[in-house]
Amino acid sequence: MTQTITVIRGDGIGPEIMDATLHVLEAMDLGLQYEEADAGLAALEKHGELIPQSTMDSIRRNRVALKSPLTTPVGEGFRSINVELRKRFDLYANVRPAKSFPNTRSRFPSGVDVITVRENTEGAYIGEGQEVSADGETAVLTQKVTRRGSERIVRYAFELARKVGRRKVTIVHKANILKSTSGLFLKTARAVAAEYPDIECDEMIVDACCMKLVMQPETFDVIVTTNLFGDILSDLCAGLVGGLGLAPGANIGSDAAIFEAVHGTAPDIAGQGKANPCALLLGAAQMLDHLGMPEKAASLRAAIIATLEAQDSLTPDLGGSGNTMSFAKAIASRV
């Protein structure tokens, strides 16, 4: 059966980077089919809704979506579309690889290859229990960690490690201080880790982890952690290897998975062919891993690396004089 992917072209630079990404995927002979669906501003203009039912149905049916950045209109009581999609499909795992690439003006142009697996539905981000006292002097935040939530994210991290051939998972926590929440996460994580004797497991307190990531990032492989720590650590890791233009992410649940670039719609450069398509392309590589095509994912990453190494048609953010599509063509010629 042919696997169909829901494709959301998105807003701002979204359509440009999606055209570029699909151009490369089409050169790869993947046997995939692509079904376009609207979301964001483009959907609001066409259907009067940010996420039309037809888009929800498409994602539910295909279970895999490749998504460009979306604009959530400000004011008018709109909730972030990305948050909405995460809620509706219970996309509990946020997976963000950070890998060194050559010629990217980053601090670590080689040696780093870390995947952060962040719990995406609970912890400090439950959106309940936030209170400020009437006099404005005291604020309270409730965190919630469940055994089920912890177990499924840690299991996801170990399964991912196995699937893509990683050797180590680091459990990041603050159980010495946040004894209840982080304590439950750590205890649950240890029990899951025991089921994976083939994968090395270590534990690290989040502050120590930050220091070690900055000093010796090459010693990390897969990191699994709770929502707030994962939010911070995944940006830290993206910063180590060159920032937004190269940072992909996936939001994964049991019924659906959405692959994307971490960056936004970049309205300042939209429609000018200046956008770097690599983040979305790397999101597509994650998608290929997810679909059980790790050798295709590896060849896509290798083509991106070779193109960066050759400095062939790179976009202006990488100091090149190419454009979005010429960069994509240079990558497509190497897959």
Just list the catalytic residues. 125, 174, 207, 231
Q: How many residues bind ligand ATP (CB under 6 A)?
A: 15
Return the range that interacts with ligand ATP (CB under 6 A); candidates 101-109, 124-132, 202-210, 268-276: 268-276
Q: Where are the alpha helices (DSSP H) in 241-293?
A: 278-290
Dihedral sign of CA atoms 2, 18, 279, 171 in order:
negative
Interface characters, 122-151, with ligand ATP (x: CB under 6 A): ------------------------------
Report yes or no: 306 and 300 within 8 Å, Cβ to Cβ: no
CA dist., res. 63 & res. 3, Å (int): 10
Least distance between ligand ATP and beta carbon 266 (Å) = 4
Q: 83 vs 177, which CB is nearer to Mg ion?
A: 83
In the list 269, 284, 308, 330, the residue contacting ligand ATP (rule: CB under 6 A) is 269
Please report which helix (H) or strand (E) contains residue 331, including its range. Answer: helix 324-332
**According to CB under 5 A, which residues from 203 to 262 bind Mg ion?**
none
Alpha carbon separation from 270 to 5, 8, 17, 263, 275 (Å, rounded): 25, 16, 10, 13, 7
For 63, the 3-state DSSP assignment is: coil
Dihedral sign of CA atoms 254, 258, 261, 262 in order:
negative
Return the range that interacts with ligand ATP (CB under 6 A); candidates 2-10, 171-179, 210-218, 261-269: 261-269
279 binds ligand ATP (CB under 6 A): yes
In the list 238, 241, 275, 335, the residue contacting ligand ATP (rule: CB under 6 A) is 275
Task: Quote the strand ranges of 82-159, DSSP E.
Answer: 93-99, 113-119, 131-132, 139-140
Tokens for 223? 């990191």
Q: 70 vs 178, which CB is nearer to ligand ATP?
A: 70
Least distance between ligand ATP and beta carbon 39 (Å) = 13
CA dist., res. 181 & res. 148, Å (int): 13
Please report which helix (H) or strand (E) contains residue 58, including its range. Answer: helix 53-62
Interface characters, 260-279, with Mg ion (x: CB under 5 A): ----x---------------
Interface characters, 204-243, with ligand ATP (x: CB under 6 A): ----------------------------------------
303 binds ligand ATP (CB under 6 A): no
269 binds, among Mg ion, ligand ATP, none (CB under 5 to 8 A by kind): ligand ATP
CA dist., res. 330 & res. 183, Å (int): 49
Q: Tokens 């960069």 map to which residue?
A: 327
CA dist., res. 18 & res. 31, Å (int): 18
Q: Name the residue whose CB lies closest to ligand ATP.
A: 264
Q: 7 vs 275, which CB is nearer to ligand ATP?
A: 275
Least distance between Mg ion and beta carbon 228 (Å) = 19
Return the range that interacts with ligand ATP (CB under 6 A); candidates 78-86, 177-185, 204-212, 263-271: 263-271
Tokens for 68? 């460009």
Q: What is the largest CA-CA distance in the chain?
A: 64
Tokens for 257? 């998975």
Radius of gyration of the chain (CA): 20
- Binding site residues, Mg ion, CB under 5 A: 264
- Binding site residues, ligand ATP, CB under 6 A: 69, 71, 244-245, 263-269, 275-276, 279, 317
